[in-house]
Structure 1
Amino acid sequence: MNGPRSREIVQKLWNASKSLQGGGVTYFEYVTELTYLLFLKMLEEVSRSGRKLEEGVPQDCRWGSIKSRVGDDRLTHYRAVLLKLGTSPDVRSPLVKQVFQDAKTSITKPTSLTSLITTIDDIDWYAAEEDGLGDLYEGLLEKTTSERKSKAGQYFTPRALIDCLVRLMKPEPGEIIQDPAAGTGGFLIAAHRRVLNLTDDLTTLGAGAAFFQRNSALQGCELITGTHRLCTMNMLLHGIDTPIQPYDTLSSEAEDLDPADLVLTNPPFNKFPESVFRTDFSITADQRKGPLPFVEHIVRALKHGGRAAVVVPDNVLFEDNTGRRLRTWLMDLCNLHTILRLPTGIFYAQGVKTNVLFLQRGKTDRSNTQAVWVYDMRANMPAFGKTRPLTVADFVGFETAYGTDPNGGAERTEQGEDGRWRMFSRDAIAARNDNLDIAWLRDTEAEAEEALTEPEDIAAAIIGHLKAALEEIEALSEELEPDIVEEAATVAEAAE
């Protein structure tokens, strides 16, 4: 987030959440509630600056209409507004309908609604617009994800990691950039921001190219309704006029996405009870939805010569059977030139071990990977958590080693067995049965976790290790008895 004034506004809005927590309103529900109200307020503010977005909202549903009422009448009217904006044919803006689809309020007291409206109305919106309304909203989302932790395999990507991957992959004007698991839109917005910087806010582009950048360049899917709502709001406030679709990437819906020049994504880490339904899949067809099918989607989504950076859990690197077939297929079709072993604790669950795969789709579909470079950012690292968040500075060593070519073609220097940066030939990987879980430095994760002091971080570490252990048991059981695993997954989903 850019300016100190925006940070002050975010803190002010966040402090207002305390008044609702006594009524059982969660952080996520609070930010969703703020999304409804801030959306209407920001439409009013943005319309004053020339973007006539408020014209798509009926008069009796605008910010001023809600603000003009008091007491029980205000709360009753607010509930009616949420319903109307999501369903009425009078709402001409598809963006508005996406934000308010299935919207309902968690507020039960008129005084709580009045408190929120007063807080929002007291904001210095001139200062907020100078710093960027999108950055203000992103600040709220970051607050939410740090409090919400993770659920159902959704691990929200740290901003420092997003910015690192965008710097390395270098999105360009005119490219189709896709995120098939978009979350709140972090990757797409960061990519868009780089394009804005390259084109002086699109002013150096022709009218057609600028229109493409706002309306067609950024594509993807987000299935979870609440998260999709936040994504739509976030992208709209960053000047992106066509948000991503509420599609299931692992169903036939996603087959309509355009071939991508660049994929940036952090798919769900968990497996789900439902099966994949994609007519174009071969490796993971009929498998349970999870990270492996997302990897197949990414390879198929890329144009020949297209590139990708994708966050995956460790089991994608070593899982046998379907996992091994997928890795072999991927290394044939793509040049998997780099793997970054990420530290634990950065996804709000200490035991979750993750990596970034950097790859380029080949011009042909044979023998594209000749060597894989691995950077170990996991061993001998601090215990990341609330008191020690991931920062841009943590990626300096990796970015230097990676080089300036997005496709890994820059000159690289091996650091040997005592260093973090090593190269492994395709033959060496084949000798490992295409197991890409390659580590050579002493693992200091347990020592780092002993340094944790925050109760939230300690609890996250315990939960993360339990989840990792359960996933290993599940993988073993899946080989022995698929029906048992499906039943256990259904029970686990119900428990969440």
Structure 2
Amino acid sequence: MATDFKQVIDELWDAFEEVGTEDGYDIVAQATLLLAVRRLDVIHTAAEKKANVIGRPIENPIFDAETEELRWSRLKNLEASRMFGLFETTVIHFLRERGGTFTDVVFTIPSPSALSRMVDLIDKVPYSSPAANGAVYEYLISKITTKNSSGGFPTPRHLVDLMVRLVDPQPGDLIADPASGSGGFLVYAANYLRETNPELLLDDTTRKHFQHGLLHGFDNDPAFARMSTMNLLLHGIDTPDVRRRDSLAAMPDDDVGRYSLVLTNPPFNGSVEKSALDKDLHRDVKSTTKAPLFVGRVLSLLQLGGRATVIVPEGVLFGTHKAQLALRKALVDDHKLDAVIKVPPAAYEPFSATQTAILVFTKTGVGGTDRVWFYDLRADGRSLDKKRTPVAANDLHDVLARWKTREDPASPELSRKRSDQSFFVPRDEIAANDYLLTPSRYQETPEDTGSTRPPREILADIKALNAEIERGVTELEDLLG
């Protein structure tokens, strides 16, 4: 079945490109619209069958006598021009009325013949279990190869999987992603909980929390918000809480300090107008640059004792601006910074070659950082170039295995040398080095190896420094008005 759905999605993608829809995000947006219409009919049909068996009316029907013609099973059999006319007007209005992230959905398929072809292809996509349906949508997302107009892109799924496993979500968590994008972190957190807690859906209380209270996403991009919603729905989350929201603007009081776990890869390029910022957030972070602001937002969303894993540009680790230094100091002195994991720039190809790191921390408000664990992720199972072809070298299993043993009194991590791939650095040493969190600051190179850093790594550092300089100039210009 896996090969079948991939062939159909490939054909669907080609069909969109043939009618002039070439932007990957536009293709996913229109495919999402069609999948949403189909899904509503699948749910209603299942409710009809249940009602017939028990001899009672359908509870909360999706369709009624007036909207019966909008069901997928009816639409797909209509003459092309009639179907196109309904989609342009009534179907879109019906979806918008259902609210949520579909309130501003748009229909851009250009012609009746194009719509007829797309509907035929969507109808061929297998629809069965959450795992199978989710795999279809994840494959659709994987075909995107460019950034969107705001510079965002789906986080590579091997990094998402690693980060989820690092923070070990629990059934009772309240999980948020303030830049939910395609929904990867929320979907993988749900899948991880199903994997590690097979009994989760057998108990009424835990099932209700899993379906209705566990996962929460915010995104300012309407297409990304719908993408997150559909990804969660197709993965079997009945009522996903995904909201169209600028996470750097004022945040409702009931979201502040609410969540026990935050996972995110925020858009960290550029700055934000001071007038558009949450005043409390700007007071705490004292910056208009997105990267430190998003880390500050994560801290504000977390409840005391809450955990987080966040992707940040390397400039956050070594930047000399007061806001960056204050943020690092806060993570180390006011909370518990657990780990800094350096990620190779090629991990984000074909979207970006930015040098980044994964931060793992716990919000305490009273400190708790005795030492910080550093890991240099050098290989991720794919070639470190734009082609990203599968290779044998892969540190993902190693970083997770080392991470899980780091607190064990007999852990090898406690005695590793600074020349190893992972090592601990005491809190006092970090404080004495202006709270710098770049692994290279504390690494030692064995004298007898004669090794040098790879040219691509040096180039990435230069790019990161240049970006940091540009952000500093932008901040200074903002201050000068």
The code of the aligned residue for 1:268 comes to P
Instruction: Point out where structure 1 has 5 or more consecutive residues left out of the alignment.
Output: 89-95, 450-460, 487-496
Q: 1:245 to 1:467 in 2, by over 3 A?
A: farther
Aligned with residue 17 of structure 1, among 5, 13, 22: 13
Give yes or no for contact 1:44–1:54 (8 Å, CA) kept in 2: no
Give yes or no for contact 2:101–2:242 (8 Å, CA) kept in 1: no
1:130 to partner: Cα distance: 7.9
Give yes or no for contact 2:248–2:281 (8 Å, CA) kept in 1: no
User: Which residue in the other structure is 1:271 paired with?
Assistant: 270
Aligned with residue 175 of structure 1, among 173, 176, 184: 173
User: Which residue in the other structure is 1:360 paired with?
Assistant: 362
User: Which residue in the other structure is 1:259 paired with?
Assistant: 258
Q: 1:466 to 1:389 in 2, by over 3 A?
A: farther
Give yes or no for contact 2:287–2:293 (8 Å, CA) kept in 1: yes
Give yes or no for contact 2:38–2:72 (8 Å, CA) kept in 1: yes
Q: Distance in 2 between matches of 1:164 and 1:186?
A: 12
Q: 1:63 to 1:390 in 2, by over 3 A?
A: farther
Give yes or no for contact 2:130–2:234 (8 Å, CA) kept in 1: no
1:154 to partner: Cα distance: 1.7
| SS of the residue 1:424 aligns to | strand
1:61-92: CA deviations, max 9, x gaps? Answer: 2213422322322222211134312444xxxx
1:140 to partner: Cα distance: 0.9
Aligned with residue 238 of structure 1, among 235, 238, 241: 235
Q: 1:307 to 1:242 in 2, by over 3 A?
A: same
Q: 1:6 to 1:377 in 2, by over 3 A?
A: same
1:282 to partner: Cα distance: 5.7
User: Which residue in the other structure is 1:29 paired with?
Assistant: 26
Q: Does residue 84 in structure 1 map to residue 84 in structure 2?
A: no
User: Which residue in the other structure is 1:493 paired with?
Assistant: none
User: Which residue in the other structure is 1:139 paired with?
Assistant: 139
1:14 to partner: Cα distance: 2.3
Q: Distance in 2 between matches of 1:434 and 1:118?
A: 58
Q: What's the TM-score once normalised by structure 1's chain length?
A: 0.82
User: Which residue in the other structure is 1:38 paired with?
Assistant: 35
Give yes or no for contact 1:402–1:408 (8 Å, CA) kept in 2: no
1:167-206 to 2 correspondences below 5 Å: 167-200=165-198, 202-205=200-203
Give yes or no for contact 1:379–1:445 (8 Å, CA) kept in 2: no
Q: Distance in 2 between matches of 1:131 and 1:7?
A: 15
Q: Does residue 433 in structure 1 map to residue 434 in structure 2?
A: yes
The code of the aligned residue for 1:117 comes to V
1:179-328 to 2 correspondences below 5 Å: 179-200=177-198, 202-205=200-203, 207-240=204-237, 241-257=239-255, 259-275=258-274, 277-281=277-281, 284=284, 287-288=287-288, 290-320=290-320, 321-328=322-329
Aligned with residue 114 of structure 2, among 112, 115, 121: 112
Q: Distance in 2 between matches of 1:149 and 1:192?
A: 26
Q: Distance in 2 between matches of 1:279 and 1:410?
A: 47
1:54-65 to 2 correspondences below 5 Å: 55-57=61-63, 58-65=67-74
| SS of the residue 2:137 aligns to | helix
The code of the aligned residue for 1:110 comes to P
User: Which residue in the other structure is 1:403 paired with?
Assistant: 404
Per mean C-alpha deviation after superposition, the further-off stretch among 28-37 and 100-109 is: 100-109
The code of the aligned residue for 2:470 comes to E
| SS of the residue 1:174 aligns to | coil
Q: 1:65 to 1:202 in 2, by over 3 A?
A: same
1:394-440: CA deviations, max 9, x gaps? Answer: 311211221257x8999333432431112211221122111212313
User: Which residue in the other structure is 2:55 paired with?
Assistant: none
Give yes or no for contact 1:222–1:245 (8 Å, CA) kept in 2: yes
Give yes or no for contact 2:342–2:376 (8 Å, CA) kept in 1: yes
1:370 to partner: Cα distance: 1.8
Q: Distance in 2 between matches of 1:372 and 1:115?
A: 55
Instruction: Point out where structure 2 has 5 or more consecutive residues left out of the alignment.
Output: 51-57, 446-450
Q: Distance in 2 between matches of 1:390 and 1:54?
A: 51
1:284 to partner: Cα distance: 4.6
| SS of the residue 1:173 aligns to | coil
The code of the aligned residue for 2:262 comes to V
Compute the RMSD of aligned alpha carbons: 3.2
The code of the aligned residue for 1:75 comes to F
> Kindly, what percent of the aligned residue pairs are identical?
26
Give yes or no for contact 1:260–1:302 (8 Å, CA) kept in 2: yes
User: Which residue in the other structure is 1:375 paired with?
Assistant: 375
Q: Distance in 2 between matches of 1:204 and 1:226?
A: 34
1:92-128: CA deviations, max 9, x gaps? Answer: xxxx433532222222122111111111223444xx5
Q: Distance in 2 between matches of 1:179 and 1:53?
A: 32
Q: Distance in 2 between matches of 1:444 and 1:48?
A: 60
Give yes or no for contact 1:179–1:265 (8 Å, CA) kept in 2: yes
1:171 to partner: Cα distance: 0.8
1:468 to partner: Cα distance: 4.5
Q: 1:335 to 1:253 in 2, by over 3 A?
A: closer
Q: 1:204 to 1:481 in 2, by over 3 A?
A: same
Q: Distance in 1 between matches of 2:142 and 2:273?
A: 30
1:41-70: CA deviations, max 9, x gaps? Answer: 233234444598993253232213422322
Give yes or no for contact 1:341–1:377 (8 Å, CA) kept in 2: yes
Give yes or no for contact 1:299–1:361 (8 Å, CA) kept in 2: yes
User: Which residue in the other structure is 1:494 paired with?
Assistant: none
Q: Does residue 66 in structure 1 map to residue 75 in structure 2?
A: yes
The code of the aligned residue for 1:8 comes to D
1:447 to partner: Cα distance: 5.3
The code of the aligned residue for 1:272 comes to S
